[in-house]
Chain A
């Protein structure tokens, strides 16, 4: 190689130190075929990502290996797959730490989506859920501004995390509620929904929240936080779902069992301090459905697990909490913040 030592700023760029990476890859040839695992060993630069290793396998060892890829820089969201059971972007996952630890990783397709071939999943159910939440701005009949919507940085920041989503599906892959209820809208679609509910230019907030509050919506989330843990872009979908819950409460949309459940907790805090467990069941699922739970409740009561409803546990000094609740309710915004259509935000004429 020619002497490039004068290129001091690029030092390291020509450093081709290599390492050997061994991968176990889940292979599946398609409908009717049996899935199996194959082991590959590749020689790659020490800077190699999981995607670099898969490319090396496909180029030099086995052209039949199927996986999606495009941008190679964690922007396009194509290369979501599971490594050791957890969803990652292949292009964002450096392999050196695993080599150093002497650990052979296992690569498999994402979960909660049908597998087409090898590491390629069918994203159709994913897209249909994204479409279901109406992923575009609806001004709610408000006249479009003459020039542009004026959105302050603070207002824009309301949805800045959710706007980072690259639709890779890593969160959906790990969603536990979706494993149990495949119709659950799931973390990606709900984070996208908040991206519009929280958008100060959007005027369809109430209708959106009404749709999202029903079956398979906001209140299906079991708060396992796998989505936050797996998202490669810091969207924190679970936090977005919680924001939708708060917006639904602000709009008074609290008919769903999940919202009623949350309401019992909110009220318990200033009506005694601790959760009123005996109120939780009837107030969540309604008095009629609660009757069907009586045998179950008696079983719990026999083990001493049902606190006395007539003498509920009371925390000391709970009057403080009641005052705090009243003060905060008086401070809470009653309406969603909206963008100012056309008015300048810096005091000068545009």
Chain B
């Protein structure tokens, strides 16, 4: 774990998923790490710019990575699977192909933009706190045990695959979320669809196909008896949470499973309250039993 990170919340945590941003900042403060803001960064392109205009994606990423580099941090911290993969894909190209890096820097220079020297690593919050010193630090602040809470981990795709771009853990048998769930004192529920897809990238363009994909994790997590799901990705969160009712209608089921951002789960175990974690911003509401199991101060103190 680093002492300071160039913090890249991405679009969703800056706009519709602000509860993820506030939870992340609060847990970072608990862990005693500094998050450096980068006010002029753009969207990572969410895979869409990468697909439609690959060269634009490469340059936008270089601009973001360059800003991170100039902040003095060695690691750009992401809190979204899609940001993680997109920035790592570009970073891999820029770090391993000197001719491409030189071409991109020439273009950045020609448009008055600072360059990138290839000196930044892109890492997700999940990776930083689920092993090594970051894990130890989290263990020491996770003072409020969430004992009795059954949590279904949902990894999503772009933090596991393709492993050659991500490479943090075995993409078929990941354990990082389970390790953190247990560090919170909660119980991790196992189910096969935890490494599958939430359907979010095509939920607008191909809603029926996406809903068919989304049903699998919701159904399996529900059947396995989970109280809540937790995900390291705000796109998965939006899909699992906001599209849950539509997925219910699609499957002829009645899913009612709250979905937590990873930072919210960590925050609850670290003693943060609703004011910071903002569960009220979720579409699928947390009922009193789940709130009780999360032992939020507002409920416990009532």
Residue numbers of A with Cβ under 8 A of B are 84-86, 176-177, 179-181, 184, 219-226, 228-229, 236, 238, 241-243, 245-246, 249, 256-266, 268-269, 273-275, 277, 280-281, 284-285, 296, 299-300, 303-307, 313, 315-318, 320-321, 323-325, 327-328, 331-332
Pairwise interchain contact A265-B45, C-beta atoms closer than 8 A: yes
Quote the shortest CB–CB distance from B280 to chain A (angstroms): 7
- Does B290 have its Cβ within 8 Å of any Cβ on chain A? no
User: A177: which of B47, B108, B172, B213 is its contact (CB, 8 Å)?
Assistant: B213
CB contact under 8 A between A324 and B59, given known A262-B52, A273-B42: yes
**Bound Cα distance A104, B42 (Å):** 48
Pairwise interchain contact B41-A273, C-beta atoms closer than 8 A: yes
Pairwise interchain contact A324-B46, C-beta atoms closer than 8 A: no
- Does B17 have its Cβ within 8 Å of any Cβ on chain A? yes
With a CB–CB cut-off of 8 A, which chain A residues contact B283?
299-300, 303, 305
- Does B202 have its Cβ within 8 Å of any Cβ on chain A? yes
With a CB–CB cut-off of 8 A, which chain A residues contact B85?
225
- Does B36 have its Cβ within 8 Å of any Cβ on chain A? no
Q: Which of A246, A263, A331 has the most CB of B within 10 A?
A: A246
- Does B73 have its Cβ within 8 Å of any Cβ on chain A? no
With a CB–CB cut-off of 8 A, which chain A residues contact B18?
304
- Does B169 have its Cβ within 8 Å of any Cβ on chain A? no
Near A by CB (< 8 A), chain B positions 262-292 give 280-283
In the complex, residue of chain B having the shortest beta-carbon distance to the beta carbon of A306 = B16
- Does B293 have its Cβ within 8 Å of any Cβ on chain A? no
In the complex, residue of chain A having the shortest beta-carbon distance to the beta carbon of B214 = A180
Beyond contacts A320-B111, A320-B113, A331-B107: 19 other A-B pairs, Cβ-Cβ < 8 A, are A177-B202, A177-B213, A180-B208, A180-B212, A181-B209, A222-B209, A223-B47, A226-B161, A236-B162, A261-B204, A275-B15, A296-B246, A299-B283, A303-B280, A303-B282, A305-B16, A315-B39, A321-B60, A332-B53
Pairwise interchain contact B192-A85, C-beta atoms closer than 8 A: yes
In the complex, residue of chain B having the shortest beta-carbon distance to the beta carbon of A293 = B204
Interface flags for B9-21 (1: CB within 8 Å of A; 0: not) read 0010011111000
Pairwise interchain contact B42-A315, C-beta atoms closer than 8 A: yes
Chain B contact residue count (CB 8 A cutoff):
63
Report the stretch among B130-138, B141-149, B178-186, B193-201 that lies at the interface: B193-201
Pairwise interchain contact A269-B202, C-beta atoms closer than 8 A: no
Pairwise interchain contact A223-B40, C-beta atoms closer than 8 A: no
Pairwise interchain contact A275-B202, C-beta atoms closer than 8 A: no
Pairwise interchain contact A223-B157, C-beta atoms closer than 8 A: yes
9 contacts between A and B (CB under 8 A): A86-B172, A176-B196, A180-B211, A219-B202, A242-B47, A246-B52, A249-B52, A273-B41, A303-B281
Interface flags for B55-82 (1: CB within 8 Å of A; 0: not) read 1100110010000000000000000000
Pairwise interchain contact B204-A266, C-beta atoms closer than 8 A: no
User: A258: which of B113, B202, B242 is its contact (CB, 8 Å)?
Assistant: B202
